Structure 1
Amino acid sequence: MTAKDCGAHHLDERKKLFRLAAVAVLAFVLLILFIIFLVWLILRPTKPRFILLDATIYAFNISGPNFLTSNLQVTLSSRNPNARISIYYDKLDVYAAYRSQQITLPTLLPADYQGHKDINVWSPFLYGNAVPIAPYLADVLAQDQMAGTLLINVRINGRVRWKVGTFISGRYHLYVNCPAYISFGDKNNGVPVGPAVKYQLVQNCHVDV
């Protein structure tokens, strides 16, 4: 065998090894994807469901040219719809927003655990004393209050982990948006609680994980 034939033979061997390695890598990737699909098919993971149950308004008014004071307490419930997956709520920050602008400081909820089909309930206070707002918002707020109805969004930013058996996943970002329609003009829509007014809402929230 000549040196040229020997070199060609070695080249063919390398090509075969590369093909075998590529096939092995492809088979491994397909196996991992199949396992992930099978786990998903068995577990059917579903994101938690949040409901804004009520909101108690202690203060919501303009305090100065472009400052908004808003103090309220909200009641939120979360349900884990999964039958085989538990949820760790590692961090949940709750705040209120008006016309896409944050109007209260974030309130940190305690870390919590949610078992299969369990329901958790939180009732945080949200405070925003003399928060600067865009000049146009003061006019829009005055118009909404004159109309008797305004929309406040109660939002949650957090981190969650999933637990399946003894396996615990990494942290995932949780974003929840709960619209609260407050009718200031009609007192029949709220229940007086001392100097405050409590509104029963039972409003479904939009959840992204």
Structure 2
Amino acid sequence: MSVKQCHHHGSDKKKLLKKILIGFGILAAIVLLIFFITWAILQPRKPRFVLQDATIYGFNVSAPILLSSNFQITVSARNPNSKVGIYYDKLNVYATYHSQQITYFTVIQPVYQGHKDTNIWSPFIYGTNVPVAPYNGAALSQDQSNGAISLVIKINGRVRWKVGSFISGRYHLHVTCPAYIPFGNKNSAYAGVVTGVKYQLAMKCSVNV
């Protein structure tokens, strides 16, 4: 007596599984399409940074070409978007001179920035006996004698965008702020660094995301 094998039920299960997978694929495609259309309509804009002021607490160039410095800066960041929030993941702030880093990294802790909100940070950036290139050491000494220095304040980190309940992946953030900081009047009887004086700068920063 022979036993007949039934292939009908196995075939139905495969068809059902295939339909379920196709359904999930179509649903995922629709969700992604809706998100990209919403994203295109909202057109999220980059945050706007302004270097408001700087205070010098120490600046000294010593042999063999070592720099010790201590600044406090005030930076504002504004979210120009009315429907997109911004998560600032850990930000690193430091100063450069002629493209050379001259301070350590100072960390700004993560923060969320709501629609049209503005955040203001006043971090200290400093370095102790930081080696500098010989040509930069000579230029720094000359700037100190002249009574002013041109630095570039940089902020690097990552941001995430928040649209409704959706949060995007991380994007690299690069902020560059020019800073022309006077040390005092070079023609006065007291030439050199005048510490503890807050200099208003109000310099717009370039932002790349």
Q: Fold match, TM over 0.5?
A: yes
Aligned to 1:42: 41
TM-score for both structures, normalised by structure 1: 0.77
Aligned equivalents of 1:120, 1:152: Cα separation in 2: 23
- Map Cα deviations across residues 54-105 of structure 1 (whole Å, 9 max, x no partner): 1000112202221011101111100000001000011101111111111111
For the structure 1 residues 165 and 41, does the alpha-carbon distance in structure 2 shift closer, same or farther, using more than 3 Å as the test? same
Q: How many residues align?
A: 174
Aligned equivalents of 1:67, 1:58: Cα separation in 2: 17
The answer (yes or no) to whether the contact 2:56–2:195 under 8 Å persists in 1 is: no
Listed as ranges, the matches of 1:149-160 within 5 Å are 149-160=148-159
1:178 matched to 2:146? The reply is: no
Query: What SS does the aligned partner of 1:196 have?
Result: coil
Aligned equivalents of 2:35, 2:76: Cα separation in 1: 34
Aligned equivalents of 2:172, 2:127: Cα separation in 1: 25
Q: CA deviation at 1:147?
A: 3.1
Aligned equivalents of 1:208, 1:65: Cα separation in 2: 36
In structure 1, the gaps of 5 or more residues are 1-28, 188-193
For the structure 1 residues 90 and 35, does the alpha-carbon distance in structure 2 shift closer, same or farther, using more than 3 Å as the test? closer
Aligned to 2:114: 115
Say what the alpha-carbon RMSD is for the aligned residues.
2.2
Query: What SS does the aligned partner of 1:141 have?
Result: helix
Aligned to 2:146: 147
Q: CA deviation at 1:140?
A: 1.1
Q: CA deviation at 1:48?
A: 0.1
Aligned to 2:70: 71
TM-score for both structures, normalised by structure 2: 0.77
Listed as ranges, the matches of 1:7-156 within 5 Å are 36=36, 38-156=37-155
Q: Partner letter of residue 206 of structure 2?
A: H
Q: Higher helix fraction: Structure 1 or Structure 2?
A: 1
Query: What SS does the aligned partner of 1:104 have?
Result: coil
Aligned equivalents of 1:170, 1:41: Cα separation in 2: 17
Q: CA deviation at 1:141?
A: 1.3
Q: Partner letter of residue 198 of structure 1?
A: K
Query: What SS does the aligned partner of 1:83 have?
Result: coil
Q: Partner letter of residue 130 of structure 1?
A: N
Q: CA deviation at 1:156?
A: 0.5
